[in-house]
């Protein structure tokens, strides 16, 4: 008897998570390499109890909050003038070595460590095509990063940035700190990467879109609660009517 209530409840909790994702997208609108995430809702069909009749009419559909989906279109590339900032203009991720193992990132805002190693923002060494950290010496002052990821200075070639891609980008797991873990997939090397020196890729969040999404999520949430309220009134009046009939 109470399926409308539960159906709306499933909708409300799904809507709640949708608004959390939108809030996180907006909060990270300035995070380099951030990818906007969206919820995937699906219909979960259940058979109603004690309903006889044609097969289709006996089903009710709940909202099923199924997964998050990451938008993969690239973010805007902003010039920064810092020679160690690198943006990937094509597909792929930089590889960094963290205490938890290899992690992947699109945020190519690198800096030099005290011992000359190329590090990312969290201090994790950036790896070259041999999966080893890239080290620069104090004599390397004019650093040039070519389109294919080769790092050169006036003293010659210092290495090449390793850039990898994954068969299923949706299965990657964001870990925070701009790091992404492979989620069990094996990385594939990108043979011909396209990198841009002196620039950083921003997030791919479009704030205006995100803002309108937030408003429509709010309205849908209010719509669903209104439905719940009306349903409550309907049930109450049904109960009142039944009681009146009996007395």
Residues that bind other proteins (CB under 8 A): 16-17, 19-24, 26-32, 34, 37, 39-40, 65-70, 80-82, 107, 109, 111-116, 121-122, 136, 138-139, 141, 168, 170-178, 183-184, 207, 210-211, 214-215, 217-218, 221-222, 225-226, 228-229, 232
Kindly give, in sequence order, each residue whose CB lies less than 8 Å from that of residue 39, ignoring residues fewer than 6 positions away.
Answer: 14, 17, 18, 21, 65, 66, 67, 68, 69
Collect all residues with Cβ–Cβ distance below 8 Å to 14 and sequence separation of at least 6: 39, 41, 63, 64, 65
Q: In terms of CB distance, is 92 or 120 closer to other proteins?
A: 120
Q: 229: how many CB neighbours lie within 10 A of its CB? A: 11
**Closest separation in Å from C-beta 227 to other proteins:** 11
Least Cβ distance, residue 47 to other proteins (angstroms): 14
Q: How far apart are CA 207 and CA 76, in angstroms?
A: 13
Identify which of residues 45 and 192 has a Cβ nearer to other proteins in the complex. 45
- Determine the Cα–Cα distance for residues 117 and 43; give it in Å rounded to an integer: 51
Q: What does the alpha-carbon distance between residue 73 and residue 90 come to, in Å, rounded to a whole number?
A: 10
Residue placing its CB nearer to other proteins in the complex, 194 or 202: 202
Pick the closer one to other proteins by CB: 192 or 229. 229
* Nearest distance in Å: CB 233, other proteins: 8
Closest to other proteins by CB, 40 or 192: 40
Matching residue, tokens 């792929």: 92
């Amino acid at each position: 008897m109470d399926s409308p209530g539960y159906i709306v409840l499933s909708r409300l909790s799904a809507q709640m998570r949708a608004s959390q994702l939108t809030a996180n997208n907006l909060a990270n609108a300035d995070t380099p390499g951030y990818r906007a995430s969206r919820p995937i809702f699906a219909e979960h069909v259940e058979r109603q109890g004690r309903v006889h009749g044609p097969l289709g009419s006996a089903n009710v559909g709940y909202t099923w909050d199924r997964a998050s989906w990451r938008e993969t279109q690239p973010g805007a590339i902003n010039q920064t003038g810092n020679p160690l900032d690198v943006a990937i203009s094509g597909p792929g991720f930089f590889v960094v070595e963290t205490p938890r193992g290899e992690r992947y990132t699109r945020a190519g805002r690198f800096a030099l460590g005290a011992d000359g190693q190329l590090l990312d923002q969290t201090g994790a060494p950036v790896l070259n095509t041999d999966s080893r950290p890239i080290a620069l010496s104090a004599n390397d002052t004019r650093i040039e990063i070519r389109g294919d990821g080769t790092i050169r200075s006036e003293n010659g070639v210092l290495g090449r940035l390793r850039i990898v891609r994954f068969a299923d980008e949706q299965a990657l797991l964001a870990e925070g700190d701009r790091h992404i873990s492979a989620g069990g997939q094996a990385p594939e090397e990108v043979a011909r990467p396209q990198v841009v020196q002196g620039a950083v890729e921003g997030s791919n969040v479009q704030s205006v879109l995100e803002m309108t999404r937030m408003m429509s999520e709010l309205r849908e949430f209010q719509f669903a609660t209104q439905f719940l309220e009306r349903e409550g009134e309907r049930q109450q009046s049904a109960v009142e009517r039944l009681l009146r009939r009996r007395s």
